[in-house]
Amino acid sequence: MALEDCSLNDLGFIGRWFTWERGRFLATNIRERLDRGVVMLNWGNLFPSYQVEHLSHSFSDHCPILLDTMRVRWNDQCSYEKLFRFEAKWCLESSFDETIRRWWADISGSISRKLERLGFQL
């Protein structure tokens, strides 16, 4: 097997069991797990709190795979911070582009500050 020959481990996943889907009708629908996260054996020592998630697909026939290496993040006061997650379905809203442009123009400061504030607003 290729993974064994290259000394790679499958990271597993949460979410839907498949990453690829073809066919819109029940009789012709095919679902498979074609995409996966794999790592070298010592990678787990660097990122012990990882999580791989199969996200919902929208435009592609493949599901995006999210590799989260920091599953939980703590701020300076030792309290949990919710990590930002971008939802692709937001792009389908007709007013999305204009709303982002307006918010971006209204936020002052560096690019990282603008991105942080934009994330809060989203």
Q: Tens place of pLDDT for every residue, the chain, 122 residues? A: 788 889 898 999 988 889 999 888 989 999 999 999 999 988 888 888 888 999 987 778 889 999 988 776 555 555 555 667 777 888 888 889 998 999 889 888 888 788 888 888 88
85 within 8 A of 79, measured Cβ to Cβ: no
User: What is the CA 38 to chain-centroid distance, rounded?
Assistant: 16
Give pLDDT, residue 115.
83
In the structure encoding, which two tokens stand for residue 92, read together?
A: 């389908």
Give pLDDT, residue 48.
81
DSSP state of 89: G
Q: What is the pTM of this model?
A: 0.54
Sequence spans of domains, the chain: 1-74, 84-122
Angle subtended at Cα 90 by Cα 12 and Cα 18, rounded to the nearest 5 degrees: 25
